[in-house]
Amino acid sequence: MGLQQMWRLVWRFNSFKRTDIILQHLRMSKHTEAAEVLLERKGCAGVITLNRPKFLNALNVSMIRHIYPQLKNWEQDPETFLIIIKGAGGKAFCAGGDIRAISEAGKANQKIAQDFFREEYMLNNAIGSCQKPYVALIHGITMGGGVGLSVHGQFRVATEKSLFAMPETAIGLFPDVGGGYFLPRLRGKLGYFLALTGFRLKGRDVYAAGIATHFVDSEKLGMLEEDLLALKSPSKENIADVLDAYHAKSKIDQDKSFILEEHMDKINSWFSANTLEKIIENLQQDGSSFALEQLKVISKMSPTSLKITLRQLIEGSSKTLQEVLTMEYRLSQACMF
């Protein structure tokens, strides 16, 4: 064998080796990306597990791109009778969209931010219009994008460890993912209060506020899921019966009144104003410690975000979910760039 032929063989071998290494990296990358969300068929259900516990299951675009088509497939599958979504790790259902990653990526590539918000809102709409019963186990931190993955579904199960908030006015955004739809539909002006102040609801208060449809003690959550999966060709009513039974048996904070109950009349009065200036004036004129506390909170928020949010909720109160999400997509792009 001549020297030239030998070098040719060495080059081919190295080329093959490089190609093989690249393919291995691609396979690993795909596996890692897919592992951020687990999509499994169990019993009668399709089960979605948000699987980024180190990041409190923050939602990114690759997760959305896995969930959306599978949700649509399960919706059409005659053997899938319900869809369950939950978070891994015990600390969070989903702490929100991965805004830091989106913001950093958006500085370099505007299309990434466009894609994220558009595809996230498409998923929110798909959940809201899903023809199969959709059960969100909102155990742990549930904020922003996590609310969008749960609140539009038919059933939302809170536990004593649930923590709900829409904190966007503090970071220069607005309570999106359909916040303009569900927040003004909470009782009285509660949704306006939650949106503008970012007030956090914990445990049974998440149920009392109307964010969750059921409350279950966290130690029973695994059993609840097992009982749902064991149902045979269940109807929506069968699923509701199981959830109702667990809800009725829950004991934690059973007799506790809603944390904002004593303030609801004032909240309804203060936040019925159509301008931010009037809301602030209402709080100042009241002068109670609770009013002054909310005034202090609002003063730390982005003034632009506060104005956008108030208008968003007023407009959203008479729109469909799809119309609200279209409006919010346009707002998201205006806020990002």
Write out the catalytic residue numbers. Answer: 97, 145, 168, 176
CA distances from 147 to 142, 152, 179, 203, 299 (A): 6, 8, 9, 15, 25
Rounded Cα distance, 284 and 273, in Å:
14
CB 77 within 8 A of CB 132: no
First to last CA, the chain: 63
3-state per-residue secondary structure call for 72-89: HHHHHCCCCCEEEEEECC
Residue type at 255 in one-letter notation? D
CB 140 within 8 A of CB 163: yes
- Which helix or strand (DSSP H or E) is residue 92 part of? strand 92-94
- Residue whose entry in the numeric block shows the structure tokens 């602030």: 280
Q: Which residues of 148-160 are buried (b: 16+ CB within 10 A; e: fewer)?
A: bbbbbbbbbbbbb
CB 259 within 8 A of CB 201: yes
Rounded Cα distance, 61 and 250, in Å:
36
Rounded Cα distance, 150 and 96, in Å:
11
316 closest CA partner among 333, 303, 330, 304: 330
Question: Up-side HSE of residue 20: CA atoms within 13 Å toward CB?
Answer: 6
- Residue whose entry in the numeric block shows the structure tokens 């009982």: 227
87 closest CA partner among 174, 41, 147: 147
